Chains A and B, each alone.
Chain A
């Protein structure tokens, strides 16, 4: 079976080395330069993740990340996976030019104009299609092949059976990636129009009232009982998916490192049964997993 790749988030240069040492083969991150914040604030308009703390802030950080990742023989990927308005594009192009000039490997994208621009300038950056594009079927892969994509990140709202069906007939000229830890939300990433700011509740954190019934959506604490797909990892791998992403940019680095270890142990088949995987979850995260927090049921 083809080697796997664990893709892990970082939000500062100092996190790169520990994350790679823990077993990640690739790091991903966003950048939120000061001039962007002045114009557009620190909501999720640049990388579908709010807060400058979840992002790098300077171009020198980009160079450092490439250097460290390359020392480990690993890849680094810049997330520019929001969809931008016309006036925002010059900022995005500047970031992409810097990223490429500093040796960056890949970019996670969802904006068609950005993909067309990369294509037009003959960029060598590899293009990963974000969950924000909502690739639920093989024909969508065919559509985006026109943009010279190298990887597709599958929607985290797919059921296991749908993933099997999708992978059976889909184009194997590109790689596939799937999210396996943290932050599952019942809203579909690519169709969620709630904006995500630092100061306000996200749509999935709002409390709604329906008559006398109170509805809390994401009321569990992802930091205490993380969402995970560990029990499905081998089945996912059998479909041909080789890249396994840890979500949770700006989550505590220790938690990210623990989760890389957990996913790696499971992929390396240390555990013969679901019960063993679940026991390991408990020993690592300190609480029993919950079926409600399972990915790809």
Chain B
């Protein structure tokens, strides 16, 4: 089992990265929080020093965002020979495939996993069909997987949902499991002062401190975390998932955001 760490590219020297072979960096929900190349110098030094492989995580992208990512990738190619790109945007997948840039990985925002924590209670007495559906990833279907072959996709990413996750039985594909945060939903921009009713219209990404703010919804029984422009909840226990699914071969621990 490969253990990787997702870090905040702005603070690689502030976090002690445990022994590992790969680090994840970038941002999965906001294009404004993606790095410029000159902002990852320290990260590159660290990666070279410790012989770490790199995975660049990207969010959904506007046309401006896609230009920014492609510029970044052009520069990254000059510094690193092989790297993975986690894509949350079909346009980016299309583009990096035709440019033969990096190794594409399908992000957990595209695999079609059911992540609402309330769905877990269906597992108590669900009809079989419902149980199957809730455990499924809607992207991982026969024809779709065959279609992705032309994009060279061999890895899909998953969240550590409370319910079982079924990934199919094809040994051609591998899966990464993120812990502990599970995404619920994404805002277009951060809620201002963490108030839903005030969404920033023009945010300044440099002001963003990647804070985790705890929210609660008393009815749900789960703590909700507002991290930048997205809502998450957490499930740090992953042993059962590994037991259930032999094709998960990588754990991605998010240490960019403090959990405990």
Contacts and interface: CB of A to CB of B under 8 A. Distances in A.
User: Is chain B found bound to chain A in the same assembly?
Assistant: yes
Interface of A: 38-41, 45, 83-89, 111-113, 116-117, 120, 133-144, 157-159, 162, 165-166, 169, 186-188, 190-195, 200-201, 203, 206-210, 213, 215-217, 219, 292, 297
A281 to B, nearest CB: 21
- Identify the interface centre among A39, A135, A191, A209: most chain B CB within 10 Å of its CB: A191
B116 A195 contact: yes
B63 interface: yes
A38 B130 CA distance: 10
Contact of A215 (B132, B196, B201, B218): B196
Given A41-B130, A45-B133, A191-B186, A86 B141 contact: yes
Contact of A143 (B93, B115, B137, B195): B93
A187 B186 contact: yes
B138 A83 contact: yes
B114 A86 contact: no
Contact of B62 (A136, A190, A206): A136
Interface string B55-90: 000001111111000000000000000000000011
B187 A137 contact: no
Contact of B186 (A116, A192, A200): A192
A137 B63 contact: yes
A113 B144 contact: yes
Nearest to B229: A188
A86 B139 CA distance: 9
A86 B130 contact: no
B91 interface: yes
Interface stretch (B5-13, B41-49, B208-216): B208-216
Contacts of A208: 196, 215-217, 224
Contacts of A45: 133
Nearest to B96: A139
Interface of B: 29, 60-66, 89-95, 109, 112-116, 118-119, 127, 129-130, 132-133, 136-144, 147, 183-188, 191, 194-197, 199, 201, 213-220, 224, 226, 231
A292 B144 contact: no
Nearest to A187: B185
8 contacts: A85-B138, A135-B90, A186-B187, A192-B186, A193-B113, A201-B219, A203-B116, A217-B197
B214 A210 contact: yes
A57 B112 CA distance: 26
A259 to B, nearest CB: 24
B187 to A, nearest CB: 5
Given A39-B129, A85-B136, A166-B63, A139 B92 contact: yes
Contacts of B66: 137, 139
A162 B144 contact: no
A111 B111 CA distance: 11
Contacts of B184: 192-194, 203
Nearest to A145: B94
Contacts, number: 174
A135 B149 CA distance: 22
A13 to B, nearest CB: 29
A85 B133 contact: yes
B63 A112 contact: no
B188 A157 contact: yes
B133 A40 contact: yes
Nearest to A117: B143
Contacts of A116: 143-144, 147
Nearest to B109: A191
B218 A137 contact: no
Nearest to B145: A113
Nearest to B215: A208
Nearest to B231: A203
Contacts of A213: 194-195
Most chain B CB atoms below 10 A, which of A41, A136, A144, A166: A136
B60 A190 contact: yes
Given A113-B144, A203-B184, A140 B89 contact: yes
A87 B142 contact: no
Nearest to A111: B138
A193 B116 contact: yes
Contacts of A157: 188
A217 B224 CA distance: 14
B175 to A, nearest CB: 16
A45 B147 CA distance: 24
A85 B196 CA distance: 32
B125 to A, nearest CB: 13
Given A112-B141, A139-B90, A216-B197, 13 more contacts: A38-B127, A39-B130, A85-B136, A111-B138, A112-B143, A116-B143, A137-B61, A137-B63, A143-B90, A193-B115, A206-B220, A215-B195, A217-B197
Nearest to B141: A113
